[in-house]
Structure 1
Amino acid sequence: MTTLKNPEPVDVVIVGAGAGGATAAKVLTEAGLRVVGLERGPWLKPEHASGDELKFLNRNFIWQDPKLKPRTYRQNDSEDAVITNFSATPQVVGGGTTHWGGMVPRMTVNDFRLRSLHGDVEGASLVDWPISYDDLEPYYTRVEWEFGTSGLGGANRWEGRRTRDYPTKPAPLSQIGRKFATAMDKMGHSTFPMPQGMVTEPYRGRKPFSENGFWQQYPDPGNGKSSTLISFIPDAINTGLYDLRSDCYVSEILVDKTGKATGVRYQDENGNEFVQNAKAVIVCGGGIETPRLLLMSKSALFPDGLGNGSGQVGKNATFHQYSFSVGLFDKELHDPLYGWSGHYMNLCSFDFYETDESRGHILGSLIFPSMLGHPVNWSFPGRPTWGQAAKDADRELFNYSMKIGILLHDLPVESNRVDLDPTVKDAWGLPVARITHTPHQNDFAQEKWQVKKNGEILEAAGASKIVPVNMERITGNTSHELGTARMGNDPANSVVDKWCRSHEVPNLYVFDASFFPTATGINPALTIMANAWRCADRIIAVDRHGWTD
């Protein structure tokens, strides 16, 4: 490792260039602030994308390498943690928005006030958010229009007020979408077009998304599928004030003797170490890597980790387990579903989202149908795995299968947490993140009920064979990491305030899903971006005037 001359100081250094980091970079640079972005992964351009399933799915090309960047997991404190690839979020410029399915529904009004609705839930650390739906609504709208989305305003009867429709119309229904809609209508339930991070019409120089089901877990070689890689990052770069450095690994947030953040220490891809000084630091590494970085940033002033006087950094972790029911349809009775044709999840329902305690649990989830994986690596109980029989199964069974999935709206539990593993190190010699997590009993009850209900929907759709896929534990299979730097008004039980600013370090911010006080039953990306925009506006209007060099 060689130490070279440090780069010039800037106004803000942002750790991470995903949903939160890229949004903040766009807003701050367009207001005239000089920003450096440090992303630990590579900068892949759309031309690096391809339809190579082996490369992207089986070899996990854009996902972190567990040999270089492992994590450890245990269910509770009495177990030994084992090395795992838990929640292997893509670490590339654009973050999770480079690979995602692009689901962008808004949180509901009630999502912000779960403590008021349900009171104390035994074993859980349920709280209200210090902000409301109305605080985020203008920013939801800005992101939907600036980022590029599709949907139908007013179609979701559970959604809060909206001031503007989506900029492009919903995607056409796929065969799977039609099958789902017919079954739901038969059962007396409602559906609506899935709000999606893509454009379905020419929009701001972008061509419509190529309506196929293969772009989950792939970068899009075009520009129809929205990501911060093709939207907010170019917007920030075009200001001339955003210096984005990829393959840079931040190991510490630095502070001065007064407790203010002064910048970060990082290594570039060649192992050269630098200090990037800045007037403010925004951390957007995700709900696992952000608390890890804060806990590694120890000093005489912060012996337990930066901004961790409350002891809450890393606690209250939730992970949105994905569970589903699988249906197989008799080809003699049904037309093929062709899951690869059309966007792979273009219809959904919120009918089971709000609490109905007659189900035996509180909370609920968005549900949506989709194809069963990809033809190269899909699975179904009893499917042959080799030779001509496997090829026949791929040809015959894949086109007659579908699943209905949920994103578990899991309860926060204080002891479910991310901390530093005391023995396991990564390739840089730094302690890795250790995840300790046991689902709350409400999580099991909610997941079991909804997966069974999804099976009933598949039965109504005409499936001849139905298989529920229930969880035994949280596996981190959604890459949604929430709650580990909780937002709140009380410094005693939260990490950041309602502007996502550290209670203890006045120029340190957290803009990824770590700030979520509670989870949701939907994908968090839209809310991450909307909140980052909201908090960046506050920095521009108020905070920056109090910063000193």
Structure 2
Amino acid sequence: MANLNLKAKEANTYDAIVVGSGISGGWAAKELCEKGLKVLMLERGRQLEHIKDYTNAVKAPWEVPHRGRLTTAQKGSHPYLIRERVYSEFNESYWMKDEESPYTEKKRFDWTRPDIVGGRSIMWGRGSLRLSEMDFEANAKEGIGIDWPIRYRDIAPWYDYVEAFAGIAGTAEGLPHLPDGIFQPAMEMNCFEKEVKGRIEGKFPGRKMTMYRTANLTQPIGERGTCQYRDRCARGCPFGAYFSTQSSTLPAAVKTGNLTLRPDSIVNSIIYDEAAGKATGVKVIDKHTKEVIEYHARIIFLNASTLGSTFIMLNSTSNRFPKGLGNDSEVLGKYLMDHHFHAGASGISEEFQDKYYYGGRPAGFYIPRFRNIGEDKQKYLRGFGYSGYSNRTGWARGIAELGIGEAYKDYLTEPGPWQMGLMGFGECLPYEENQVYLDHGRQDAWGQPVLEFNCEFKENEILMRRDMDQDAAAMLEAAGLKNVTPFNRDSYPGGAIHEMGTARMGCDPKDSILNEWNQVHSVKNVFVTDGACMTSSACQNPSLTYMALTARAADHAVSELKKMNL
């Protein structure tokens, strides 16, 4: 008879396991802990303690060796990450080294992967917009993909719930396609933006220009202070002034005494008990020792990010699920989506030369979607919104000038003209052939297969992008800006850092992975509430939706546990 170490298994058993500590993982841990469950949170990244470990948060450029710029060695260790602006000398230590955990691109995919507790909640852009009834209905009305199993009314109370806790600064606009929420006072537009707002709204009826709804506090919540307008958010905020796992959900979970956090823990797969028809735990690889450890729980929340969760499910094979956990429909890894961007316009203005602005406001303004709404019909489906910024140009404008002497120095010490830019974020339709799968011919530093991407933007997105830059230029010109220049640069999936889909929600187990409660159809004690669950992408920033879906699913999970249904 085998000598089983039952005490060791008991010591590694919890009520719930949460995989991932980012935006949705933090919410899962908070909600489950506050409802009385003993929770193990597993994070592949290293520990990052709030305030103490934000080592570059208050440093000026001249206080770091390379003024914030990346060295050749730093670029070499992150050959994928350098494609995007989120990676700098100030937060270089927050990111996973691509050379340790590579991926394969059949078609280009820009995947940004943090390597810290808190995940991308430390570096995210903080845009916090609700999806609308129009977004939840679109697939069914247009015959695209599959229908969502929920509607706006199902998630609206949970939007209220997470907004009140996270703290969202914004303005109610009364737009049905961009529902209002529980807002703190919005950050203020500068004088130039206020003037442009009036001109755009006056010349384009039905369009709105509002401050971006952002998870930056303008009023304190508990021990979290208000935004200091430093615009250094991607380094970590020692004031707790924006929503992150470290500042918000993790302290709430720790306060209950029910949380165990284990960083440096790479979840390899989910353990499935075929006799019981349930998941019983997870296999973990210790990042440093490479020891394989098993942890057990009654319920499992997958919040490892869209692609992290999909990897774990694809890698969780058994006699019952030879193509990945819960993959009876064979759609796991398919219908990968991301927003497309890098299309818009910019211009300058000589107005308000005697005016300036305060600090480094960490949020811009927003022009919500106006295409394919009401009577507006385009050659493409769905639509886009614009994120915008404005400032006065500084001394760098003189780099291209030929100057010398006192007059030239005086010129450089005065602020230059106002400039403004609009950049669209457009919806990507769900396509079956846009997918990610395992590449067993290549391994990461821990002997695991890597992900391979085969994903691209298609005709609908290309048509939309032609509209995005022309509409932006038209609005800026109508607002009186000069030297208006449209731009339409390359945009690849992954670049907007809003990857979604691959384990979509649906009504029918034959064409989806998750039900209306984010449960795996065929493994009811596994929940997926990060971006993998999305059935369509809309054009709004998706993180607020992940928060709401996670809080809703956690409430359902605990209710089902009490009924002995899981």
Normalized against structure 2, the TM-score is what? 0.84
2:281 is the alignment partner of 1:263: yes
2:511 is the alignment partner of 1:493: yes
* Structure 2 equivalent of residue 129 of structure 1: 148
Give the letter aligned to residue 263 of structure 2.
Answer: S
What's the C-alpha RMSD, in Å, of the aligned pairs? 3.3
What do residues 49-74 of structure 1 show as CA deviations (whole Å, max 9, x unaligned)?
A: 31554477434522332112222222
* Structure 2 equivalent of residue 79 of structure 1: none
Matched residue of 2:563: which SS? helix
Return closer, same or farther for 1:346/1:218 CA change in 2, 3 Å cut-off: farther
Deviation at 1:208, TM superposition (A): 1.1
Larger Rg: 2
Deviation at 1:29, TM superposition (A): 0.9
CA contact (8 A) 1:355 1:364 kept: no
Q: How does 1:140-539 map to 2 (within 5 A)?
A: 140-153=159-172, 155-159=173-177, 165-166=182-183, 168-174=184-190, 177-178=193-194, 180-188=196-204, 189-215=207-233, 217-258=234-275, 259-271=277-289, 272-329=291-348, 341-352=360-371, 354=373, 358-370=377-389, 400-472=418-490, 474-539=492-557
Distance 2:125 2:34 in 1: 28
Return closer, same or farther for 1:206/1:415 CA change in 2, 3 Å cut-off: same
Deviation at 1:332, TM superposition (A): 8.4
Deviation at 1:27, TM superposition (A): 1.0
CA contact (8 A) 1:307 1:505 kept: yes
Return closer, same or farther for 1:327/1:284 CA change in 2, 3 Å cut-off: same
Matched residue of 1:343: which SS? coil
Deviation at 1:319, TM superposition (A): 0.9
CA contact (8 A) 1:263 1:281 kept: yes
CA contact (8 A) 2:428 2:538 kept: yes
CA contact (8 A) 1:325 1:466 kept: no
Return the match for 2:24 from 14, 17, 20.
20
Distance 2:416 2:295 in 1: 51
Deviation at 1:356, TM superposition (A): 6.0
Matched residue of 1:359: which SS? coil
Deviation at 1:343, TM superposition (A): 2.9
CA contact (8 A) 2:343 2:489 kept: no
CA contact (8 A) 1:255 1:262 kept: yes
CA contact (8 A) 2:344 2:421 kept: yes
Deviation at 1:198, TM superposition (A): 1.6
Deviation at 1:340, TM superposition (A): 6.3
Deviation at 1:260, TM superposition (A): 1.4
Deviation at 1:489, TM superposition (A): 1.3
Deviation at 1:409, TM superposition (A): 0.6
CA contact (8 A) 1:24 1:533 kept: yes
Deviation at 1:201, TM superposition (A): 1.7
* Structure 1 equivalent of residue 35 of structure 2: 31
Distance 1:465 1:546 in 2: 66
Normalized against structure 1, the TM-score is what? 0.86
What do residues 374-430 of structure 1 show as CA deviations (whole Å, max 9, x unaligned)?
A: 999x9x9x9869xx9xx9999889874332122221100011011112423212121
Matched residue of 2:169: which SS? coil
Give the letter aligned to residue 47 of structure 1.
Answer: K
Return the match for 1:43 from 40, 43, 47.
47
Return closer, same or farther for 1:161/1:187 CA change in 2, 3 Å cut-off: closer
Return closer, same or farther for 1:110/1:339 CA change in 2, 3 Å cut-off: farther
Residues matched between the structures, number:
523
CA contact (8 A) 1:307 1:503 kept: yes
Distance 1:394 1:301 in 2: 69
Return closer, same or farther for 1:117/1:383 CA change in 2, 3 Å cut-off: farther
CA contact (8 A) 2:349 2:419 kept: no
Give the letter aligned to residue 103 of structure 2.
Answer: R
Distance 1:396 1:270 in 2: 53
CA contact (8 A) 1:108 1:159 kept: yes
Distance 1:489 1:28 in 2: 25
* Structure 2 equivalent of residue 78 of structure 1: none
Matched residue of 2:519: which SS? coil
Matched residue of 1:240: which SS? coil
Distance 2:358 2:559 in 1: 48
CA contact (8 A) 1:365 1:521 kept: yes
Distance 1:532 1:392 in 2: 55
Deviation at 1:130, TM superposition (A): 0.7
* Structure 2 equivalent of residue 65 of structure 1: 97
Return closer, same or farther for 1:28/1:319 CA change in 2, 3 Å cut-off: same
- Residue range with higher mean Cα deviation, 536-545 or 435-444: 536-545
Q: Structure 1: state its 5+ residue gaps.
A: 76-81
CA contact (8 A) 1:171 1:346 kept: no
CA contact (8 A) 2:266 2:286 kept: yes
Distance 1:268 1:181 in 2: 53
Deviation at 1:246, TM superposition (A): 1.5
Return the match for 1:113 from 125, 137, 145.
137
- Residue range with higher mean Cα deviation, 264-273 or 464-473: 464-473
What do residues 253-303 of structure 1 show as CA deviations (whole Å, max 9, x unaligned)?
A: 111232411111112342233111111211111121111111111122211
Return closer, same or farther for 1:384/1:314 CA change in 2, 3 Å cut-off: farther
Distance 1:393 1:542 in 2: 68
Deviation at 1:462, TM superposition (A): 3.7
Return closer, same or farther for 1:65/1:342 CA change in 2, 3 Å cut-off: same
Return closer, same or farther for 1:207/1:473 CA change in 2, 3 Å cut-off: closer
Distance 2:192 2:283 in 1: 49
Deviation at 1:11, TM superposition (A): 0.8
What do residues 182-201 of structure 1 show as CA deviations (whole Å, max 9, x unaligned)?
A: 44234233222322112102
Return closer, same or farther for 1:402/1:421 CA change in 2, 3 Å cut-off: farther
Distance 1:143 1:332 in 2: 41
Give the letter aligned to residue 240 of structure 2.
Answer: N
Return the match for 1:102 from 122, 126, 129.
126
Distance 2:24 2:271 in 1: 21
CA contact (8 A) 1:133 1:160 kept: no
Matched residue of 2:478: which SS? helix
Give the letter aligned to residue 464 of structure 2.
Answer: Q
